[in-house]
Amino acid sequence: MLGEPEGGIGQSRGLELLLQLTDALSLLGCMEDAPGRAQFAAMLADQLQRPVDLRGVRLREDVAALVRAALNVAGGERVLVGVVRVLEGSAAGDELDRLLEPSVVPEAASGIPLGPLSPGEEADARALLAGGELPAARLRDDLVEELNGLDLPAGLSPEQLFAHVLEWNTQPDGLPPAVLLLDRAARLAATRTHRAALTDWVDDWAQRSGLTRELKERRSAAVEPASDPDIPRCLIVAVEPARDGTGEVVVRPWLNTTHGHWDPLPGDPVTTTLDGLGPAVESALRQGARLWSVPREPDPGGRLQPPPYIEFVLPYDLLNHDVAGLTYQIGDGRPLPLGLKYGVHLRSLERMRTDDAVVQEQWRERWLALRRHGVTVHGWSEGDGCNLDAWQAALAGERRSTAVVLDAPDDVPALEALKAAIAEGIGLAIWDRRGVFDDERREVVTAVFASVQTPAQIPLAIHRLRQNAVLHAKGPGRFLGRHIGFLWDDPNRVVDLHTLDPDLAGQEASA
């Protein structure tokens, strides 16, 4: 497969034509912007009667995808010329037609596929990839590893990634990247049925191609990434105010559906108001419930998976907003607060978005200290409140401090104190949303910290405190549980917040 197919035109001729057509189409006016390329792709897909997927980010990448889609169908190159004639006129079509001399007819037109898969194999593979939930980002990373670091574009769906590598040359052992993609996908499939279908397809292909031994060697050499029990299934909700006087906020959800692995799947952003935040979260939760309910293999240790968490990524001025008190409704029952069923955490939008290397490094160092050495609290007191410089200086000099307990960040001193703690890398912070954190309630927090064996159990302990506050009318923690603010900000579990910035998004789209 590495050389020229017998009786046909070699891959080098096909690649030459791919290059010539890509160069020619890249000069056309209809390719200048992403909407124009999308219109071309829609018309081409309609004529080819097969999907044509574009990222809509880089011109040449999109054009190459259009050409590959056409050349991968018998007679598709003439369809490509026809679409050019429609959108750019006869002169442009004639210019393109001159590149399609009989001596360079693509392999697909001669009945020999451009890539290592036949049209039937390709169709079956596409159907299998679309037949179940697959973590796209992790699949891309695993395939990069499988291909020895060969670069692949980010942000593609499994089907788009398959199309991207479909015609790539086989690896030295004879296995094509497209087949390796399906083998990697089988390991990531959420259900036993989907996993078996993908594995059977790869096994059958390898047997027909005489590559069963090579496939077995590949699988033996693959090392599954270690599962981290501290990584939960969770819904991540980033909230960013428009700050244009409208009172609107942009809400963007991500779903991490697999316990032990971090691969959050982005959802559709919603523009609403703070009053509409609850329904936006409820909608995302319903999608999460569908994915979390997919049957999975039992934990090897026989342990139950922890319940899903909800993590709100908020700007400084919204960190004291009562997101745990937002309600959700199941069936025809009464709406209940989120904090009753889910562990609700707060995270810092500004820190997660920053590209300041010092801030990021301090964040990782404090979190590592928390995991290794446990909770060491730096508390906010009246004396500290009079001198914010002293508060931050003390934190900077106490590298073993891993948590802060402070007043509600709804006034300037307390908010500045929280900002300073975040800047110094603190990932665990607790406060009473109502204002001053008095000594009695600080004792409750101290008891909560003392009740856990490892820091990873703190979120569950806070969740139980909130549950008890709702379910039991008595007890020292009943009031605090209703009003506790809880920052639990893990630097190892981040999402791409730059997609929330309209200026950055516009720059990427026009790149």
Written as one letter, the residue type at 453 is Q
Residue 502's pLDDT is 42
Give the integer Cα–Cα distance in Å for 77 and 72.
9
Q: How many helices (H) and strands (E) does the chain have?
A: 22, 12
- For 289, residues 6+ apart whose C-beta sits below 8 A from its C-beta are none
Among 374, 495, 366, residue whose Cα is nearest residue 421 = 366
Q: Are the CB atoms for 282 and 328 separated by under 8 Å?
A: yes
CA 481 vs CA 94, 101, 192, 333, 472: distances in Å: 74, 76, 41, 23, 11
Tokens of 228: 């981290």
H or E element that contains 413: helix 412-423
Residue 310's pLDDT is 95
Per-residue pLDDT of the chain (511 residues; tens, 9 = 90+): 333 333 333 344 456 777 888 888 988 888 988 888 999 998 888 887 778 888 788 888 888 889 888 877 767 788 888 888 888 887 888 788 777 754 333 444 434 344 578 888 888 899 899 888 888 888 988 898 888 777 777 778 899 899 888 878 778 788 999 999 999 999 888 788 888 999 999 999 999 888 898 899 888 876 655 677 888 889 999 999 988 888 899 999 998 887 888 888 888 889 999 999 999 999 888 877 776 765 454 444 445 567 789 999 999 999 999 999 998 888 888 888 998 889 999 999 999 998 888 898 999 999 999 998 899 888 765 544 457 888 888 888 888 889 998 888 888 888 999 999 999 999 999 998 888 877 777 778 888 888 888 898 999 999 988 888 877 656 555 667 788 999 999 998 998 876 554 443 333 333 2
Q: Which residue's structure tokens are 């973590």?
A: 135
Written as one letter, the residue type at 448 is V
Residue 10's pLDDT is 38
Tokens of 484: 């506790």
CA 136 vs CA 128, 156, 252, 310, 504: distances in Å: 14, 7, 18, 21, 23
Q: Are the CB atoms for 346 and 314 separated by under 8 Å?
A: yes
Alpha helices in 58-118 (DSSP H): 59-71, 76-88, 90-97
Angle, helices 192-208 vs 212-221, to 10°: value is 130
Residue 355's pLDDT is 83
Among 455, 398, 437, residue whose Cα is nearest residue 421 = 398
Give the integer Cα–Cα distance in Å for 216 and 356.
45
Q: Are the CB atoms for 500 and 508 separated by under 8 Å?
A: no
Give the integer Cα–Cα distance in Å for 357 and 198.
41
370-388 b/e (C-beta count within 10 Å ≥ 16 → b):
beeebbebbebeeebbeeb
Give the integer Cα–Cα distance in Å for 64 and 41.
11
Q: Which residue's structure tokens are 């139950």?
A: 304
Residue 496's pLDDT is 80
20-46 b/e (C-beta count within 10 Å ≥ 16 → b):
ebbebbeebebbeebebbeebbebbbe
Tokens of 376: 């060491």
Q: Kindly write down the DSSP assignment for every residue of 341-384, as one continuous string.
A: HSEEEEEEHHHHH---HHHHHHHHHHHHHHHHH---EEE--HHH
Angle, helices 458-471 vs 439-450, to 10°: value is 130
Q: List 107's β-bridge partners, or say none.
A: none
H or E element that contains 240: strand 234-241
